[in-house]
Structure 1
Amino acid sequence: MDNMITPIKVQAQSMGKYIQDVWIIALLLVIFQHNTTFSLPFLWIILQIIIAILVQIIFSKTGPNPIIPFIIPTSVLLILFLFHSPFWLFLVGVGISIWRVQVRFLQEQDDQTYESDYFIYYFLVFLAVLFIGFILKLDDFSMTLYGVVISGVVIFVALRLYAVWISTNKQNSAPLFHVVWGFILGLLCIAGVSTGLYLVTPFIRKVLDILLEKVVSIAIIPFLPLLEYLDKLLSKLEIKTPEETERIQSEEPTELEPTELFEGITGSGFPFEIILFALAAIVIILFVRFLLKNKSDTITTKPSVIHYLNKELEDDQEEKQPNSHISIYKVNTSLLREKYKEFEVEASFYAFHRTKSETVREWFLRMKWPVKDEFFQIYEELRYGDVTISSEKAELFLSNLEKIKITFFFEKDV
């Protein structure tokens, strides 16, 4: 048992994953926002939060039930008809809701403290909806889209923070009240900075436009004689039609001003800047994830075995193990300290509390957990500092913890 799993942690994971799905679908519904008398994306979010709360309450009372996903969404989404929703929208909403409730509440979920690809999918859907909106020339969709995106990011960060707080040892974490106030204070700071940037941005953009205009004006000076020559040449051409033989008088040749050329290039209303910034952000996120996934010499542990992700080290270990019992591999003690902290948390869950005044040796003797002195020597090595120890010591330390769990924790469950 690597992590202590509690009912509230499982509920937080299911609820969080379901809310993430709801917000991605709300982005797509921005395209159909005028199909109801109230803005459809926000109406969808409100109804889905009601569905999630009802499913959570019922499942906490009755346990998982495959009938509930068909009853609750169908009943709650009938409210759509009060806002003049078309029948096809009701059917699609019910189908999606039933599907996601079954996937999120009736199946085991990944811990929300782990990294996921949610944000990448979220911004890809945002860019797709933004592009479709401009292509179809939808009316007043930008503010609704940005509102859904910003609220989705806030909700995701709040759920992630709550999931991390649940998974943290309460003796070493701040109270939930402080976490909530810290989160609200952070939102207020971000809102204040964003408002300031919004007020200052027009002035900064105007200055940048003037500077860019001057740069283009200077850069185009060497080409002005050529442009003037082409302009005069084109003005002397005669344009004739079968019905007319008279020469069409052209206007007097005018010089091509660099500022007019620049304004013609930059006068488009298409949001190139937003799309470019969003694409750059996605590229950076993908690059960072690629670096994190391809770190060398990374190890993951289970209670009784250490897996080396570096294939060359693993093969080399198999070759040298028959000839020698001395390991050349080292394990970072920070990893073992985390495993020991998880052991203490799990022990407190089974009422094997360690008092603040007693040492680890005294605690183990009081609990009558049979371990050798070498176990405590290893504990002293990994207690302080980011150092390394041999893999044999690491395996011995983890195996002793696992034996205690099997012998005392599991038997107490029975």
Structure 2
Amino acid sequence: MATFFKNRFLINLLHIILDILFLFVTFSYIVNYDQLINQYFPFSVLLLIGSSIFIAYSLITRSMKHYLLVIIYLILLFVGIAIFFTHWLITLVTLIFLVWRINSYFQLEAKLFEVNGGYTLLFYLNLVVAIIVTVYKNQDHLLALLLLLFIFQLTIISIGTMVQRLLLSEKPLSKLKKRNALSLLLFGGFFTLGVGLFILTSPLIKSVFIKFFRKILLVISYAVEIIITFIISLLPKEKMQRNLESLKLKLQEDNVLRPEQFVHHETVSFPIVEIFIALLVVGIIVYLMKKRTSELIFEEETTLVSSQTTKSINDSQHPINRSIVEYSISVGEVREQVLALEQLSMKEGQGRKKFESIRDWFERIGLNETEDFFETYEKVRYGDELIPMEMIEQFKKRVKALKDEHFLEPQKNKRGK
């Protein structure tokens, strides 16, 4: 089950990093640069450490203890307000948001981090808007920080998905590298973070970094100007000329028009450039994510077809062996039994709650089961393993016994009375 733990922890780790970075970018709208670096950055690091510890503990114990998460976040609330002097309302809203997000992590059934998910794209959109606002306000220090966050997140997601593919791969060569999979992710993250801190702390490197980005903006502004000029040339010239002259007179009357506005590189209003950049970046991200997803789907379908072909060839050469149930079939068998148990318990007012693990549910309604029972369910619920037929049959017998002993027999006794 080591692969299960590593893969699930990696998915949840990528999610919590994305959530904390999303909050950190949102902080940039509210507080100034000094507060962001000296107060909210160390607080965000502590949030990541505390949340990661809770996620790892929950995966190891296969049980989500909400009171433990509340205790950790209450400590972080005190540390944030008393030591880092963060605003109490911002800190409280941040912790409530993360509690809601962490609860949703354990309901995810995807085997890979959803790089094209709506929340991921929302993060990038938020980051792009923050960068545009920073450029507009001419805040070079904050601009460098946000650009590095953009690069850091792309690096973490790229390395993380690569490591997940490695963990889920069944190739013998890949299995030799699985031990170092998480180490590769941590090395990539710390390396990118180290380069980012070097850029932020070096005035010369940071100025070159910002100037390079501003040159890119200037080139884009020229491209936007050419496009707009071309569009204007397609419109009726006489009508456009009258509209432009009336607009110029209106601006002159309001003392808004300045001579320097007619400089060549400023003929396009900056908001147009900002909107164009935002749409361009978001469009590129959506395209790349969708393309990546289609490649993943194609790879999965190809692997499935090849495995089915190999299985049919082996079946034709050897006697049919029913001792192993295919993963998809075992998922259906086990989940069908648990679903029937949930429906029956719901009628008795003991139904499974939202975001409640099967262990917590059984403990709440007074059902005792062996570790093998829970492992069978969790292997098909979270993992990707072939389940022996004996385990499936034993699981079905135990569920049937639970139905009879805990629900059906008490119902018969009530009717008899």
How does the TM-score come out when normalised to structure 1?
0.51
Cα distance change, pair 115–49 in 1 and its aligned pair in 2 (3 A): closer
- Aligned residue number for residue 223 of structure 1: none
What is the CA distance between 1:407 and its match in structure 2?
Answer: 2.7
Q: Aligned partner of 2:264: which letter?
A: F
- Does the CA contact (< 8 Å) of 2:116 and 2:293 recur in 1? no
What is the CA distance between 1:125 and its match in structure 2?
Answer: 0.9
1:353-368 equivalence runs, <5 A = none
- Aligned residue number for residue 407 of structure 1: 389
Does residue 184 of structure 2 align to residue 180 of structure 1? yes
- Aligned residue number for residue 130 of structure 2: 129
Q: Aligned partner of 1:67: which letter?
A: Y
- Aligned residue number for residue 23 of structure 2: 25
1:203-282 equivalence runs, <5 A = 261-262=263-264, 265=267, 270=270, 275-282=275-282
Higher helix share: 2
- Does the CA contact (< 8 Å) of 2:25 and 2:130 recur in 1? yes
C-alpha distance in structure 2 between counterparts of 1:211 and 1:66, whole Å: 53
Deviations 1:343-381 (A, max 9, x none): 9xxxxxxxxxxxxxxxx96xxxxxxxxx553889xxxxx
C-alpha distance in structure 2 between counterparts of 1:116 and 1:54, whole Å: 27
C-alpha distance in structure 2 between counterparts of 1:37 and 1:199, whole Å: 23
What is the CA distance between 1:96 and its match in structure 2?
Answer: 1.6
Cα distance change, pair 340–54 in 1 and its aligned pair in 2 (3 A): farther
Match of 2:304 among 321, 329, 335: 335
What is the CA distance between 1:183 and its match in structure 2?
Answer: 5.5
- Asked which structure has the greater RCO (Cα within 8 Å, sep 6+), the reply is 2
C-alpha distance in structure 1 between counterparts of 2:138 and 2:211, whole Å: 27
C-alpha distance in structure 2 between counterparts of 1:101 and 1:211, whole Å: 43
What is the CA distance between 1:46 and its match in structure 2?
Answer: 0.4
What is the CA distance between 1:28 and its match in structure 2?
Answer: 0.8
What is the CA distance between 1:17 and its match in structure 2?
Answer: 1.8
Between 127-136 and 18-27, report the one with greater CA deviation.
127-136
- Aligned residue number for residue 71 of structure 1: 71
Structure 2 gaps, min length 5: 197-204, 230-240, 242-258, 331-385, 399-417
- Does the CA contact (< 8 Å) of 1:126 and 1:149 recur in 2? yes
Number of corresponding residues: 295
C-alpha distance in structure 1 between counterparts of 2:124 and 2:131, whole Å: 10
C-alpha distance in structure 2 between counterparts of 1:133 and 1:198, whole Å: 12
- Aligned residue number for residue 164 of structure 2: 163
- Aligned residue number for residue 6 of structure 2: 8
Q: Aligned partner of 1:43: which letter?
A: P
SS at match of 1:172: helix
What is the CA distance between 1:259 and its match in structure 2?
Answer: 12
Q: Aligned partner of 1:14: which letter?
A: N
- Aligned residue number for residue 47 of structure 1: 46
- Does the CA contact (< 8 Å) of 2:29 and 2:130 recur in 1? yes
Deviations 1:197-254 (A, max 9, x none): 98888899999999999xx9xxxxxxxxxx9xxxxxxxxxxxxxxxxxxxxxxxxxxx
C-alpha distance in structure 2 between counterparts of 1:100 and 1:211, whole Å: 41
Between 195-204 and 137-146, report the one with greater CA deviation.
195-204
Cα distance change, pair 64–149 in 1 and its aligned pair in 2 (3 A): same
C-alpha distance in structure 2 between counterparts of 1:293 and 1:210, whole Å: 34
- Does the CA contact (< 8 Å) of 2:127 and 2:150 recur in 1? yes
C-alpha distance in structure 2 between counterparts of 1:165 and 1:407, whole Å: 28
C-alpha distance in structure 1 between counterparts of 2:55 and 2:168, whole Å: 19
Cα distance change, pair 22–199 in 1 and its aligned pair in 2 (3 A): closer
- Aligned residue number for residue 86 of structure 1: 87
- Does the CA contact (< 8 Å) of 1:112 and 1:163 recur in 2? yes
How does the TM-score come out when normalised to structure 2?
0.51
C-alpha distance in structure 2 between counterparts of 1:285 and 1:141, whole Å: 22
- Does the CA contact (< 8 Å) of 2:156 and 2:189 recur in 1? no
- Does the CA contact (< 8 Å) of 1:127 and 1:275 recur in 2? no
Q: Aligned partner of 1:148: which letter?
A: L
SS at match of 1:83: coil
What is the CA distance between 1:280 and its match in structure 2?
Answer: 1.6
Q: Identity percentage over the alignment?
A: 13
SS at match of 2:51: helix
C-alpha distance in structure 2 between counterparts of 1:128 and 1:155, whole Å: 21
Cα distance change, pair 201–61 in 1 and its aligned pair in 2 (3 A): closer
C-alpha distance in structure 2 between counterparts of 1:70 and 1:300, whole Å: 41
Deviations 1:319-346 (A, max 9, x none): xxxxxxxxxxxxx8653224689x9xxx
- Does the CA contact (< 8 Å) of 1:26 and 1:42 recur in 2? yes
Deviations 1:34-86 (A, max 9, x none): 38474455234302211222203432454321222211122123221212212
Larger Rg: 1
Cα distance change, pair 109–78 in 1 and its aligned pair in 2 (3 A): farther
- Does the CA contact (< 8 Å) of 1:78 and 1:90 recur in 2? no
- Does the CA contact (< 8 Å) of 1:9 and 1:166 recur in 2? yes
Q: Aligned partner of 1:52: which letter?
A: S
Cα distance change, pair 122–375 in 1 and its aligned pair in 2 (3 A): farther
- Aligned residue number for residue 368 of structure 1: none
What is the CA distance between 1:170 and its match in structure 2?
Answer: 5.6
C-alpha distance in structure 2 between counterparts of 1:43 and 1:185, whole Å: 16
Q: Aligned partner of 1:162: which letter?
A: V
C-alpha distance in structure 2 between counterparts of 1:125 and 1:162, whole Å: 27
- Does the CA contact (< 8 Å) of 1:51 and 1:72 recur in 2? yes
Cα distance change, pair 412–163 in 1 and its aligned pair in 2 (3 A): farther
Cα distance change, pair 20–185 in 1 and its aligned pair in 2 (3 A): closer
Q: Aligned partner of 1:28: which letter?
A: T
